Amino acid sequence: MKKFSSSLIHNPKLRNFSSISRASTISTEVSNIVHSIDPMEPALEQVVPFLSPEIITSVLQEQQNPYLCFRFFVWAARRKHFRSWGSHNLMIEMLVSNNLDLFDAYWKVLDEVKKLGFGVSSDAFAVLIAGYWEMKNAEKAVESFGKMKEFDCEPNLFTYNLMLHILVNKGMVLLALAVYNLMLKLNCHLNCATYSILIDGLCKSGKISDALQLFDEMSQRNIAPSKVTYTVVISGLCQAKRINDAFQLFESMRSGGNKPDSVTYNALLNGLCKLGRMEEAFVILKYFKNDGFDLNLNSYSSFIDGLFRAKRFKEAYGMFQKMIKADITPDVVLYTIMIRGLCDDGRVHDAFKMIKEMSDRNLVPDTQAYNTLIKGFCDAGLLDEARSLKLEVSGVNGFPDACTYTILISGMCRYGLVGDAENIFTEMEKYGCVPSVVTFNSLIDGLCKSGKYQKGHILFHRMEIGRNPSLFLRLTQGSDRVVDSGSLQTLVTKLCESGSTLKAYKLLNQLADTVIMPNITTYNILINGLCKEGKLDGAFKLFKDLPSKGYSPDSVTYGTLINGLQRVGREDDAFMLLEEMVADGCKPTPAVYKTLMTWSCRRKKTFAAVNLWIKYLKSLPKRDKKVINLVENYLQKGEFDRAVRLLLDMDIKSQDLDSAPYTIWVIGFCQGHKSKEALMLLSILKEYNISLSPPSCVMLICTLLKERKLNLAVEVFFYTLEKGFILKRRICNNLIRSLLRSQFIADDDAFALVEKMRSCGYDLDSYLDGNTKFLLYNHQRKQELQDVLTR
């Protein structure tokens, strides 16, 4: 054993080594010592007190001898008093700065230590795992974690948290939870970071209820949530559209002395903006500024996105310009938001110019930016332009991808070009781009709607058989071990507990790459197709098969079947299915009640439709039951106007106004030939500044024309002009002809209506049919003749 020279140990220069860390004599002697001794030699501690691990690592690094660096670090990592984040980070930088050969050198050092009979510190493995993760090699990171036992190394909390972080980022929440359960079994002392990582993963995978359970578990274990934890949960609640719960947690955070930072504020702002609750977002912005924060790129992006979603296009453009003036440079994400907003505003070609503007700012449009623009072209019916853009930029940054093809297939199907959609689907597979479940759903939906139900069903079976996860699992794991998602979870947990984390990782990874199974949306599409064809038996067969496929029917499934039953006149069965839906714990959505109301109105049972909506309101937890009871009393007394006003007041107070029920009732009254009630309802809605929908206005005009109430029909038509509605040719021509043929309406009134239409944007040359133009011409000539005679 080489002894340390006293000159090195007692050299006063070493005490100030940070100022002369590049001294060649010290560098050489430190190198000789580390190289010559056993890496576990305790005698090395004689020199350590004079040097920080960063200094020794830096000295060895300068000599370009990674092996010695790793040798020293593995030694230092065993000594708790000598651990250092600085040397930890230096090791990771060294590993990722070169190539995988350095990882081999690191493993060589670990093997040497193992042969000498020493255990390896968890910190030494943490560096290795973090290095692989930095190199985007998650599989090697998981493999390293799994090998720790071979080196007599028990993971510490930091290493466990690092693994949880990797698994969550790879979308493997199931495996992350299995590791968490293992930590609990081993009595590992969890910290706030552990829970923050897991809660974040659960929120991002849409499992907000499970995330909240973990959040509550933190309190039970006396682990105080950090700002990060609060922010993650608030963001998750916003994503789940539980914005009121997010507000409550936000206030709880503030009152608990945990002051929100800009990230927390931005999470809440983003949630509000995505739900279109812009006024509340601007209120939060005041808190944001009062706490000393300024709008940054993320804040502007949230507001611009929210304003676009709320159709407040002018304000969105204004905020974008304001941001530019504030010298905040837009990124690719914000440009993508702008492209989508411009497309929604019908300015597709201006959106296209945004791609060039990005290039002028040295920003490279990503796949999402191009896909957003292609979707804009498809939505505008510019299918040729969409396909041309796809061809123009093919092969750029992984473009086109599955999303691109799905957008094109969906666009083609929407405009009835199902054959073209099938060709695109074939092209997609030809070029090795794997269709997603959304791709299949889009094409199946298009096929069903175009009457090609058999083709849609064949595609459905191809999903079910060609990429069946149960089949895949049986082939890879044995039919006696895995047959469904429940047994998959059990298997992952067992593999993790037995130390086969890598095997669990590979299994889930392969499954993710292999599985394209029909989801509940696919079944809903097929059930809807069968219902429209009147094949209720087939629809109910699919409905009953859902549990065996691992799915539970959702509100769309029930609503589709209820609509199908109503379509064939099985009204009683439809209401029985509603009761079954509630009994099965599936809460009916407003859409289900609207479906039932629509059919009740078609059967001239408008007040029954009103009572259905009252039933729905009673099921809502935050509605005032006393007010609803009072509404019912008014309806029983026949005081419909008072009942409607009370309902509207309640809707506005709860900030949950939905105009659809009132629109359905207007149409119902018209179908029941009760124009007086329909007009009364329209009058009340005008008082509350609530717009009636164009279809309900058309229905009311048609009803009034049939009842020869032309003046009232004209008033409703003027209402549509004020709202900016452009009605279909048929209704406008019918109204004008009725006025011209009436003995009780002056011709001047008809011509005044025509001029008003022209001033409101109607292209009368193409809008008026030949018969109407002929009548207008005759009445005009007649008027001119009368003027001549009266002179």
- Which pLDDT score, from 0 to 100, does residue 40 have? 47
Mean pLDDT of the 209-232 span: 90
CA angle 171–172–174, rounded 5-degree value: 135
Whether pLDDT at 327 is above 60: yes
pLDDT band at 624 (very low <50, low <70, confident <90, very high): confident
Say if CB 103 and CB 462 are below 8 A apart: no
- Which pLDDT score, from 0 to 100, does residue 317 have? 93
Residues 6+ apart with CB under 8 A from 109: 39, 67, 70, 71, 74
Say if CB 610 and CB 635 are below 8 A apart: yes
Whether pLDDT at 307 is above 60: yes
Condensed to tens digits (0 to 9), the pLDDT of residues 60-94 reads 555 466 777 777 777 777 765 455 666 677 778 77
- Which pLDDT score, from 0 to 100, does residue 645 have? 93
Give the end-to-end CA distance of the chain in Å, rounded to a whole number.
133
Cis peptide before 12 (omega within 30 of 0): no
Say if CB 36 and CB 42 are below 8 A apart: no
Whether pLDDT at 185 is above 50: yes
Mean pLDDT of the 767-783 span: 82
Tokens at residue 674, please? 């009760």
Out of 8-22, 346-360, 403-417, least confident range: 8-22
- Please give the DSSP secondary-structure letter assigned to residue 149: G
Tokens at residue 778, please? 């005759």
Cα dihedral sign for 72, 77, 81, 86?
positive
Residues 6+ apart with CB under 8 A from 742: 710
- Which pLDDT score, from 0 to 100, does residue 498 have? 77
The predicted model scores a pTM of: 0.71
Every domain of the chain and the residues it spans = 1-153, 589-692
* Average predicted confidence (pLDDT) for the chain: 82
Condensed to tens digits (0 to 9), the pLDDT of residues 190-216 reads 999 999 999 999 998 888 989 999 999
Condensed to tens digits (0 to 9), the pLDDT of residues 252-306 reads 888 877 888 888 888 888 888 988 888 888 888 888 888 888 888 999 999 999 9
Alpha helix ranges (H) inside 554-639: 555-567, 571-583, 590-602, 606-618, 625-636
- Which pLDDT score, from 0 to 100, does residue 712 have? 93
The 3 state secondary structure assigned to 737-782 is HHHHHCCCCCHHHHHHHHHHHHHCCCCHHHHCCHHHHHHHHHHHHH
Most confident range (mean pLDDT) of 119-123, 126-130, 700-704 is: 700-704
CB 288: neighbour CB atoms within 10 A? 22
Q: What are phi and psi of 717, to 5 degrees?
A: -65, -40
More confident residue, 433 or 28: 433
Tokens at residue 684, please? 């009340």
Say if CB 701 and CB 738 are below 8 A apart: no
- Which pLDDT score, from 0 to 100, does residue 514 have? 54
Cα separation, 262 vs 280, in Å, equals: 17
